[in-house]
Structure 1
């Protein structure tokens, strides 16, 4: 099914403007995000074609099947709670039956965890961007040779330096495992190439060292240690960095750089906003989507606050939320039995074509 199918079959129950426009944080370049709720025709719901959500290609427009919507509300999912709490001027359509799902049925102490968990994931993203911007990785990946060291006495010297100093060719080296030792090898060298040694690596893309057959009694040139864990870590970082480069929002990235930010300021703005919403839930038992502190939040988005200032603000909010939760009148969890009965009644009404 597609969004067009939902509209053609009159399956949409709820449709709202979400995101920055619903929070009062929209600027000239802001997109218009749409979220909503639909229900499946009876044959698809009872059959094998259950569809939990439908979206467009960019995920700017997302509709959740009624059961999935209620499931996420029971889990106190931050994004879905905010959809239910949409201000009247952001509601594009609301079927009368949706009036049965009210915010007070779902708000609970769980929000302390769900909002905080989501906020901390945003902080982690910001830290990841901070690391990527300040620690760019060269286009050419390092090779296994860059993680090999020659052992001499109590010291370890980079293999590449050792080879260069001695004017040796790694392809003329032969390696043999040292028994009972992890990633420790005996290194032999044959300047003539007559011994048929396989070298240390075959090519720059190699991920393993080569081993060779060496005659017993051949003089040892050195002992080599391979930092396998360091090489594996580098490969993971390399892949993650260049995948990020390929997929990043270039306009947003350039905006961060131009404002002197080495973190994603937009993510951090939403982190603070989410924590402020969680604080409102704990203290007032409700959600007000329209942000009263628009200027403060946009100042964060525009890079006017430092990373440390934002982190301190987030940590202070987290501490306040924890304190307020101790005296909050919110239940530990929503009354799932009551909510599920409402859901069943809603489906029965929809499938019987009875409009409340």
Structure 2
């Protein structure tokens, strides 16, 4: 099914403006996000074609099937709670039956965990972005040779330096495992090429060292140590960095750099906003989507607060939420039995013959 199908068959129960426009944080460049609730035709719901969610290609218009919507509300999902808390000016359509779903059915101390968990995930994401921006990875991946060292006495030397210093070629080397030595090798050298050594690596993209057959009693030229863990870590970081480069929102990245930010300022604005909402839930037992501190939040988005200042603000809010939860009058968990009874009543009304 598509969004057009939902509209054509009058299956939409709830439709609201969400995101920055709902929060009072929209700017000239802000998109209009739409979220909503639908119900499936009776034959699809009772059959084998249950569809929990329908969205457009860009995912800025998303509709949740009624049961899935209630399921996420019972989990105190931050985004879904905010949809239910939509103010009248953001509601584009509301079927009368949706009035049976009220915030008091779902708000609980569980929001301390769900909101905080989401905020912490965003903080980690910001820290990861901070690391990527400040520690760019070169286009060319390092090779196995960059993690190989020659052992001489109590010291180690990069093998590339050692080969250059001694006028040697890696292709003429032969390696043999040293028994019981993790990633330790005896290195032999044959300038003539008559011994058939395979070299240290076959090509620059190699991920393993080459081993060679060496005649017994052939004198060892040096001992080599391969930092396998370091190479594996580099490969993971390299892959993650260039995947991030390929998939990042180029305009948002450009804006962050132009504002001198080494983190995603927009993400951090919404993280702080979410933590402030969580504190409001704990202390007032409700949600107000439109934020009263627009200027303060937009200042974060515009790069007027440093990374450390935002982290300090987030940590302070997390501590306040934890303290407020101890004296909050909210139940520990949503009343799932009551909420499911309401859902059943809604289903019966929608599917009555």
- TM range, normalised to the smaller chain? over 0.9
1:57-107 per-position Cα deviation (integer Å, ceiling 9, x unaligned): 110000001111000000000000000000100000001110010000000
Give the deviation of 1:47 after TM superposition: 1.2
For 1:327 and 1:312, locate their aligned partners in 2 and report how far apart those are by CA, in whole Å: 24
Task: Answer yes or no: is 1:165 the counterpart of 2:165.
Answer: yes
Residues 1:12 and 2:12 aligned together: yes
The residue number in structure 2 matching 1:193 is 193
- Give the match for residue 299 of structure 1: 299
Aligned partners of 1:161 and 1:171: how far apart in 2?
Answer: 15
The residue matched to 1:174 in structure 2 has which SS?
Answer: strand
Mapped to 1, the partners of 2:51 and 2:150 lie a distance apart of 59
**CA deviation profile, 1:161-211 (whole Å, cap 9, x unmatched):** 111111111111101011111111111110000000011110011101110
> 1:6: Cα distance to partner?
0.5
Q: Which residue of 2 aligns with 1:50?
A: 50
Q: Which moved more, 1:343-352 or 1:286-295?
A: 343-352
| 1:152 paired to 2:152 | yes
TM-score by length of 1: 0.98
> Which residue is equivalent to 2:112?
112
Alpha-carbon offset, residue 125 of structure 1: 1.1
- 1:310 aligns with 310
Counterparts of residues 196-345 of structure 1 (less than 5 Å) = 196-345=196-345
Which residue of structure 2 aligns with residue 99 of structure 1?
99
Q: Which runs of 5 or more structure 2 residues have no equivalent in the other structure?
A: none
Give the aligned partner of residue 350 of structure 2.
350
- Name the residue aligned to 1:125: 125
Q: CA RMSD in A?
A: 0.7
Structure 1 Cα separation of the partners of residues 183 and 157 of structure 2: 16
Which runs of 5 or more structure 1 residues have no equivalent in the other structure? Answer: none
Deviations 1:286-334 (A, max 9, x none): 0000000000000000000011111111111111101110000000100
Cα distance between partner residues in 2 of 1:345 and 1:126: 43
* Alignment length (residue pairs): 353
Structure 1 distance, partners of 2:167, 2:42, is 78
Map of 1:74 onto structure 2: 74
Q: 1:150: how far off?
A: 0.7
Local SS of the residue matching 2:137? coil
Give deviations 1:216-249, integer Å, cap 9, x for gaps: 0001011111111111111111011111111111
The whole-number CA distance in structure 2 between the counterparts of 1:345 and 1:147 is 66
SS at match of 2:215: coil
